[in-house]
């Protein structure tokens, strides 16, 4: 059993954090799926790289430039075709799992991060344009995004919530999902058809925290380096268990509602001194997803070690670690807002550059 299948047997889905036309045309996506990959995530940076580097897009883009379309409309036409083809390729996984796995994510424009009505409208439009049951519309966990998530979940839209960085984000997003399901249930909707994942970004935590710990420079501070991301994930998973396997969700579960799975994102190790699987091996857990960039996926397939429920290990130590950071003046929720703002800015920059390619 390869590590990807072993993780699935332990309850975790491994998704690929990449998509391009060449990945599909070359058959590599199909090979990933055959090896056990159970989903695909995308973002503006991924599509910018794909279109900038990919010869596969040039004929279609040249044809689209002959139509009276905006740069954003051309971009959407290009990537919607990719997403549709990826959805079709992984549809057997979706069918075999009865809608638990086999999804492809497509993100709304980063320009809508603070626009609740615009996010709702864009999500409806993209969902209709892709026209696949196994699409997850990707929406950031901003204040406006959280309100949009509640509305869209209430309409039966399946969502990948992105750019989550703190316990406060985890709680806000889970609450919006649950309230949305309650609205859908009240309207007589089929709760079993809704799928949601909540994406907690990890490596960016250690990049930020390590820098601040180095600046502090005390032995206590230096001993805390390289552990913030995993500690945050383990605490997030405890929140997940308490909410979605507690009494508060029992009524919805009895009506067929699925828990909102924790998804570990930003899992490529940024510091070469750390393990290349530092955000994978310690975070195996039931009903979780880990989305891996190509290099991390290759590393996991090559030498990954799967220990069931590793995400539930050392939970007290994870809480102690976050408390130790707080004692040093590092407020996890406040830093989470900073990281989310930085992430939005990075995606907005990538999106702007992407539209330059399709102008």
Q: State how far the Cα of 108 lies from the Cα of 112, in Å rounded to an integer.
A: 7
Distance CA 329, CA 35 (A): 44
Give the SS3 label for residue 165: coil
Residues 150, 239, 262: CA angle, nearest 5 degrees: 65
**What's the distance, CA 193 to chain centroid?**
19
How far apart, in whole angstroms, are the C-alpha atoms of residue 23 and residue 34? 14
Is 215 in a helix, a strand, or coil?
helix
138, 183, 270, 353: which one is catalytic? Answer: 138
Cβ pair 135, 195 in contact under 8 A: no
Report CA dihedral (142, 147, 149, 155) to the nearest 10 degrees: -160
- Spatial distance between the Cα atoms of 144 and 60, rounded to a whole number of angstroms: 34
Phi, psi of 290 (to 5 degrees): -125, 120
Based on the residue annotation, tell me whether 138 is a catalytic residue of this protein.
yes
94: left (phi over 0), alpha (psi -120 to 50) or beta: alpha
Place of tokens 């102690």: 320
Count of beta carbons in the 10 Å neighbourhood of residue 251: 12
Interatomic CA distance for residues 156 and 118, integer angstroms: 18
Pairwise CA distance, residues 291 & 326, whole Å = 29
Picking from 161, 183, 159, the residue whose alpha carbon sits closest to that of residue 172 is 161
Q: Do residues 100 and 195 touch, judged by C-beta distance below 8 A?
A: yes
Which residue matches tokens 């996010």? 119
Q: Please, are residues 134 and 94 in contact by the beta-carbon 8 Å criterion?
A: yes
Taking alpha carbons only, the member of 170, 147, 163, 155 closest to residue 243 is 170
What are the catalytic residues? 138
């Amino acid at each position: 059993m390869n590590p990807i299948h072993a993780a699935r047997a332990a309850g975790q889905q491994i998704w690929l954090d990449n998509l391009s036309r060449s990945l599909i045309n070359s058959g590599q996506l199909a090979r990933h799926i055959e090896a056990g990959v159970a989903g695909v995530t995308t973002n503006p940076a991924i599509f910018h790289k794909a279109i900038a580097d990919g010869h596969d897009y040039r004929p279609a883009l040249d044809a689209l430039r002959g139509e009276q379309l905006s740069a954003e409309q051309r971009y959407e036409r290009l990537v919607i075709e990719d997403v549709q083809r990826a959805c079709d390729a992984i549809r057997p996984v979706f069918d075999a799992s009865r809608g638990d796995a086999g999804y492809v994510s497509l993100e709304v424009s980063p320009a809508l991060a603070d626009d609740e009505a615009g996010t709702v409208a864009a999500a409806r439009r993209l969902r209709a344009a892709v026209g696949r049951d196994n699409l997850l519309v990707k929406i950031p966990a901003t204040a406006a995004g959280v309100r949009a998530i509640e509305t869209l979940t209430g309409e039966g839209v399946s969502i990948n919530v992105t750019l989550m960085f703190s316990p406060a984000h985890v709680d806000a997003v889970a609450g919006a999902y649950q309230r949305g399901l309650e609205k859908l249930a009240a309207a007589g909707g089929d709760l079993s058809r809704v799928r949601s994942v909540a994406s907690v970004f990890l490596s960016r935590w250690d990049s930020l925290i390590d820098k601040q710990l180095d600046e502090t420079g005390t032995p206590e501070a230096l001993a805390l380096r390289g552990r913030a991301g995993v500690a945050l994930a383990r605490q997030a998973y405890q929140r997940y268990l308490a909410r979605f396997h507690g009494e508060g969700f029992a009524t919805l579960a009895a009506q067929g509602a699925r828990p909102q799975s924790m998804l570990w994102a930003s899992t490529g190790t940024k510091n070469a001194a750390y393990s290349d699987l530092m955000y994978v091996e310690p975070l195996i857990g039931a009903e979780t997803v880990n989305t891996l960039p190509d290099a991390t996926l290759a590393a996991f397939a090559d030498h990954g070690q799967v220990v069931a429920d590793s995400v539930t290990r050392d939970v007290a130590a994870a809480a102690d670690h976050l408390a130790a950071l707080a004692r040093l003046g590092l407020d996890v929720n406040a830093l989470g807002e900073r990281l989310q703002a930085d992430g939005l800015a990075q995606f907005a920059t990538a999106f702007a550059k992407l539209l330059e390619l399709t102008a």
